[in-house]
Amino acid sequence: MNPMKVGLLGLGVVGGGTWNVLSRNAEEIARRAGRRIDITRIAVRDVAKARARLGDAVALSDQATDVVRDPEVDIVVELIGGIEPARTLVLEAISNGKHIVTANKALLAKHGNEIFAAASAQGVMVAFEAAVAGGIPIIKAIREGLTANRIQWVAGIINGTTNYILSEMRSRGMSFGDALAEAQRLGYAEADPTFDVEGVDAAHKLTLLASMAFGVPVQFSKAHIEGISSLASEDIALAERLGYRIKLLGITKQRPDGIELRVHPALVPNDRLLANVEGAMNAVMVSGDAVGPTLYYGQGAGEEPTASAVVADLVDVTRLHTADPGNRVPHLGFQPDAMSDMPILPIEQVITSYYLRLSVDDQPGVLADLARLLADLRISIGSMIQEPSGDAAADIIFITHEAREGDVDQAIARIESLAFVRSKVTRLRIENLA
CA angle 205, 167, 16 (to 5 degrees): 50
- The Cα 131–Cα 134 span in angstroms is 6
CB of 121 to ligand HSE, least distance (A): 29
Q: Which stretch binds ligand HSE (CB under 6 A): 135-143, 157-165, 216-224, 291-299?
A: 157-165
CA angle 144, 150, 155 (to 5 degrees): 80
Q: Which stretch binds ligand HSE (CB under 6 A): 111-119, 154-162, 247-255, 350-358?
A: 154-162
Q: Does 15 bind ligand HSE (CB under 6 A)?
A: no
Q: Which amino acid is at 176?
A: F
Compute how many residues bind ligand HSE; rule: CB under 6 A.
Answer: 10
Q: Does 81 bind ligand HSE (CB under 6 A)?
A: no
Query: Catalytic residue at 205?
Result: yes
- The Cα 228–Cα 208 span in angstroms is 21
- The Cα 427–Cα 165 span in angstroms is 20
Q: How many other CB atoms are there within 10 angstroms of residue 235's CB atom?
A: 18
**Nearest CA-CA partner of 249 in 182, 344, 154:** 154
Is the N-terminal amide bond of 85 cis, ω within 30° of 0?
Answer: yes
Nearer to ligand HSE, 164 or 355 (CB): 164
Q: Does 78 bind ligand HSE (CB under 6 A)?
A: no
Q: Does 301 bind ligand HSE (CB under 6 A)?
A: yes
Quick check: 214 and 152 in contact, CB under 8 A?
A: no
- The Cα 15–Cα 7 span in angstroms is 11
CB of 14 to ligand HSE, least distance (A): 9
Q: Does 313 bind ligand HSE (CB under 6 A)?
A: no
Q: Does 244 bind ligand HSE (CB under 6 A)?
A: no
* Interface mask toward ligand HSE for 172-211; x: CB under 6 A: ----------------xxx-----x----x----------
CB of 378 to ligand HSE, least distance (A): 38
Given the residues 98, 140, 205, 253, select the one marked as catalytic.
205
Conformational region of residue 102, where left means phi above 0, alpha means psi within -120 to 50, and beta covers everything else: beta
Nearer to ligand HSE, 60 or 310 (CB): 310
Among 18, 40, 161, 254, binds ligand HSE (CB under 6 A): 161
Q: Which stretch binds ligand HSE (CB under 6 A): 65-73, 153-161, 165-173, 285-293?
A: 153-161
Quick check: 325 and 120 in contact, CB under 8 A?
A: yes
Nearer to ligand HSE, 135 or 330 (CB): 135
Quick check: 19 and 78 in contact, CB under 8 A?
A: no
- The Cα 3–Cα 169 span in angstroms is 49
- The catalytic residues are 205
The site for ligand HSE (CB under 6 A) is made up of 159-161, 188-190, 196, 201, 300-301
